[in-house]
Amino acid sequence: MRRRPRVFWALNHTTLAKSECALLEKLGCEVLTPKVCPKEIIERSGSVDYSFDRTLTIPAEELAALNACDFYASEIDPQAMELLNRHFDAVFVSAHLPMTENFHKGYQGILVFRAFGREQKKTYASLLGWSPKKPLWKRWRNWLLRRKGPPTLLDKLVSRGDRFAFAGCYKEVIHNEKGYLREKAAFLPIGLPAEIWSLSDTWTGGDDRVMFVCPVIHNPYYGKIYAEFKAEMGGLPYAVYGNQASSHGDSHLVGFLPRDEYDGRMRRHAAMFYHSSEPCHLHYHPLEAVAMGVPLVYMAGGMLERMGGPDQPGLCRTPAEAKDKLRRILDGDRKLIDGIRSTQARILDEFRDKFVEDAWRRGFLPLLDKALR
């Protein structure tokens, strides 16, 4: 009798693990997750989860060795890599490039690169093709002599052939690529965890403030987002969620909350504003808000516009339009509130369990079948 396939899901995203690892288990896989995680990942949206260890049938002492390994380190413990090669059929990685490089060097099974989308229309090919620049004179010399530089990470992944898959979470991510990555693409959409679906349509309101999610505002990327939000939505009452290094003297910053309290507050907020118009990336929190029935006001140009369609009442073309709609919601405009809530569920169609599971059965299980032959 053939054993169940084993997958090392080498990510530490809290919400994603609850849906994706649960789906892998449903598809018949044993699942391992990393137990050593850098502080900067924990500060964003990461955590360590031992719950899927129950699926594993490898010896306890070998599981303990894998759980003790820091897979984010500059070099992975050779003993841990040997155990992965002995027991595991596939490893999932994301855009943590040193980790991806280490797995390319040491792991012989299928390497699944999980692509959640880059900012604007930047490609993963350009990210994986990056290599340290040589001095100009060396580049000219190499060009004249027709010498190639050292292989990039993309070159190395190409060399894996069928032992590599580019797993785009959204169709936009795959369509944004060209050449090899698109050829090796597997559409593996993300879903929402069962605990979020269990809160469907539980919005109550009662907190007459706008909910805005913006973690680590000391980071330049998120700091710019928060500064723009304050400039564009100034004058509205709001609360900002997400883990922060400190309060920064800003009373609007709520900071990190346990999941139950965070969900409870979300369901009480009058509305959520989602700022992003990124064409190839989407955060979890607007999806969670829609599932709970929270009125969502969001900007056009991003993935939510495509998923919900152009006629959504919560869709806004300008910050001024968004501010006006948020103000009307805070003032109790029932027509607008009910219009948003009655139509926005369409956004979730590509995150529902059946859609996601069917796509994974088409996109991932054939890869495992090859590995287990």
pLDDT digits (tens, 9 = 90+) for 91-116: 999 999 999 999 999 999 999 999 99
Average pLDDT estimate for 310-320: 97
Residue 218 to residue 240: CA distance in whole angstroms? 14
Residue 171 in tokens: 């169709």
Residues 6+ apart with CB under 8 A from 50: 33, 35, 67
Query: Given this chain, do its domains 6-191+352-372 and 194-351 carry the same CATH topology?
Result: yes
Q: What is the pLDDT of residues 247-290, one digit of tens each?
A: 778 999 998 898 999 999 999 999 999 999 999 999 999 999 99
3-state helix, strand, coil in the chain (%, to 5): 45, 15, 40
Q: Is the pTM of this model over 0.75?
A: yes
User: Do the beta carbons of residue 227 and residue 252 sit within 8 Å?
Assistant: no
Tell me what pLDDT residue 171 has: 94
CB 66 within 8 A of CB 32: yes
Question: Domain 194-351 in CATH: superfamily?
Answer: Glycogen Phosphorylase B; (3.40.50.2000)
Domain boundaries, the chain: 6-191+352-372, 194-351
The CATH code belonging to domain 6-191+352-372 is 3.40.50
- d(C-alpha 364, C-alpha 369), whole Å: 9
- The answer on pLDDT for 132 being more than 50 is no
> Looking at residue 246, what is its pLDDT?
77
CB 254, CB 269: distance < 8 Å: no
Q: What angle do CA 8, 72, 219 make, to 5 degrees?
A: 120
SS3 of residue 73 by DSSP: coil
Contact 54, 29 (CB under 8 A): no
